[in-house]
Structure 1
Amino acid sequence: MSNQEQPLLRVKGLTVRYGNGCPHCIGGGRLNKNTCPECKTVWACKDVGFELYPGEILGVVGESGSGKSTMMKSLYFDFPVTKGEAYLGNYKDGKEDIFHQNLQQKKYIRNHIMGMVYQNPVLGLRMDYSSAGNIAEKLIASGHREFQGMTDRALMLLKAVEILPERMKEPPKNFSGGMQQRVQISKALANNPAVLLLDEVTTGLDLSVQAKVLDLIRKIRQEFNISILLVSHDLAVIRMLADRTIVMLDGQIIERGLTDQILDDPQHSYTQQLVHSLL
């Protein structure tokens, strides 16, 4: 990856606040972890900024409550942002902040440029629809109407995530957790998104199933040349997949760099603690 390449996604000053804030916290006063001691406002993300480059996997690590999932869901417009900007290189030439687009434009971005895979498949799938129907839903949302074309696309995507063709008419509620995640990945890929957001996709899966899902993510990156933002609290997952990594604590990025560099020579005391707790 050359440094001359333009980032596909640029995020600046992303802040998500639960509560109105007060002169203490808005004025930059000291927080208790990510909560204002005066007014109890929670700063779930505070001034988060990063770049994601074409074809890159960017890892995001941190403990529960560090702001990782809030950041991901904000990028997919599930949560409103308090302030901040984000630009996609393939949306309006990367010149217009996606957070401040109207609802119709945000739907366009969700349906054409980004795919999201949630930690809990219930958030990303309709459990009573067939697996193929889940993929068709995403295709219809972006304007596809041709039945055979959608059926062929669903078949191809389910095959890519190793779901047998004879099971494409089955609803995800019949499947194991690992299979549900694979259906969710195929749905997220339906419209060839440029950016895939993966939020703790291996959490709660057996090790052998985890390994399959990780292999699948690697294969998808190669086949589709997709850029991936990968949230995980599992450093082994991050080491295996991520080119670069950012470390979050209490809603802020405290360290960033090449993955090997961060895991082999962490600079921040929290990252050192995180790495050493797994050695």
Structure 2
Amino acid sequence: MNDFESPILSVKNLNKQYGAGCGHCRTGDEERLMKNYCPKCGTVYACRHISFDLYPGEVFGIVGESGSGKSTLMQCLYFDQDVTGGEAYIRTYKNGEVNLFGESSQQKRHIRNHQMGKVYQNPVLGLRMGFSSIGNIAEKLIAAGSRNVGAMEGRGRTLLEHVNIPVRRMKEPPKNFSGGMQQRVQIAKALSNNPPILLLDEVTTGLDLSVQASVLDLIKKLQRQLNISIIIVSHDLGVIRMLADRTMVMLDGRVIEYGLTDQILEDPQHRYTQQLVHSLL
């Protein structure tokens, strides 16, 4: 199979729940739940049987309202949370033959440092606000095994220039920056080790519209230049329309629609997706 026809990432039957479940909700009967919540025992089924593939050079969008499970899914993929069940395989990690979720904590750190980068909605989660911007990038490089100070400084400078952070501000901490600049530093840090996969979780939420546009333009430019595979999560279908090749729609922890972004926008099948598309018009 051609490399571009083979997924870079495959996720199979990912589940994440908060709570042990009970006889009432473990049956799998959807009607016994209030959305994704069990009224008897309080268990929340945040992600239910999520499966998808991500291909080389593809931008894959995940859209849904707050509480749909999309950010929980991203947290599970980056090992910020443990899954309840399921499998994930990266083609460039152990020939794509080993379930990432079954690996040790040490191996999961290796995967985070070499196979994936993540940009969080809240920059505080992705950056050390008191470190310099170039120091944040160096931290990620050191975690991946780099020790040459000159090489790390050169790499950091190149990346920060890529994301339009002025050279004169490279030694400044992100706490001095605007929200849009903080997101750009996060993007530079996430890309520091040339990961094949970049995870973007609500990266434009809370930013002014003009700043949103500049961050989205930057993501498009970098994706074209680096041919990196991106998963982008948003509650805003306009962001997904601008960036994503294919889109998955989530509601109450489940996938309710999945296909080419143009197809979903032009001919949505599920009533919830129809409402989303209508709100965009």
Query: What's the TM-score bracket when you normalise by the shorter of the two chains?
Result: over 0.9
Name whichever of 2-11 and 156-165 sits farther off: 2-11
**Quick one: distance in 2 between partners of 1:272 and 1:14?**
26
Deviation string, structure 1 residues 47-85 (Cα, Å, up to 9, x no partner): 101000000000000000000100001000001100000
- TM superposition shift of 1:29: 2.3
- TM superposition shift of 1:3: 10
CA contact (8 A) 2:4 2:55 kept: no
Residue 65 of structure 1 corresponds to 67
CA contact (8 A) 2:11 2:88 kept: yes
- TM superposition shift of 1:4: 6.8
Residue 175 of structure 1 corresponds to 177
Which 4+ stretches in 1 moved above 2 angstroms? none
1:205 corresponds to which of 204, 207, 229: 207
Deviation string, structure 1 residues 128-171 (Cα, Å, up to 9, x no partner): 00000000000000000000000000000000000011100000
Residue 6 of structure 1 corresponds to 6
Q: Name the aligned partner's letter for residue 119 of structure 2.
A: V
Question: How many residues are paired up?
Answer: 278
Matched, 1:92 2:94: yes
Q: Name the aligned partner's letter for residue 69 of structure 2.
A: G
Task: Write out aligned runs for 1:1-279 (5 A).
Answer: 5-30=5-30, 31-279=33-281
CA contact (8 A) 2:4 2:56 kept: no
**Quick one: distance in 2 between partners of 1:142 and 1:258?**
35
Report SS of the residue matched to 2:89: strand
Structure 1, unpaired ranges of 5+: none
CA 1:225–1:3: 2 relative to 1, 3 Å: closer
CA contact (8 A) 2:68 2:250 kept: yes
Report SS of the residue matched to 2:247: strand
- TM superposition shift of 1:277: 2.0
- TM superposition shift of 1:278: 2.5
**Quick one: distance in 1 between partners of 2:3 and 2:178?**
41
CA contact (8 A) 2:202 2:234 kept: yes
- TM superposition shift of 1:118: 0.3
Deviation string, structure 1 residues 207-266 (Cα, Å, up to 9, x no partner): 111111011101111111100000011111111110000000000100001001101110
Q: Name the aligned partner's letter for residue 266 of structure 1.
A: P
Structure 2, unpaired ranges of 5+: none
TM-score (norm 1): 0.98
**Quick one: distance in 2 between partners of 1:109 and 1:163?**
27
**Quick one: distance in 2 between partners of 1:163 and 1:232?**
25
Q: Name the aligned partner's letter for residue 6 of structure 2.
A: Q
- TM superposition shift of 1:273: 1.0
TM-score (norm 2): 0.97
Q: Name the aligned partner's letter for residue 192 of structure 2.
A: A
Q: Name the aligned partner's letter for residue 266 of structure 2.
A: D
**Quick one: distance in 2 between partners of 1:156 and 1:23?**
56
Deviation string, structure 1 residues 8-54 (Cα, Å, up to 9, x no partner): 00001110000001122222123110001221100010110100000
Deviation string, structure 1 residues 147-197 (Cα, Å, up to 9, x no partner): 000000000000000001110000000000000000000000000010000
**Quick one: distance in 2 between partners of 1:129 and 1:220?**
24
How well do the aligned residues superpose, as a CA RMSD in angstroms? 1.1
CA contact (8 A) 2:159 2:188 kept: yes
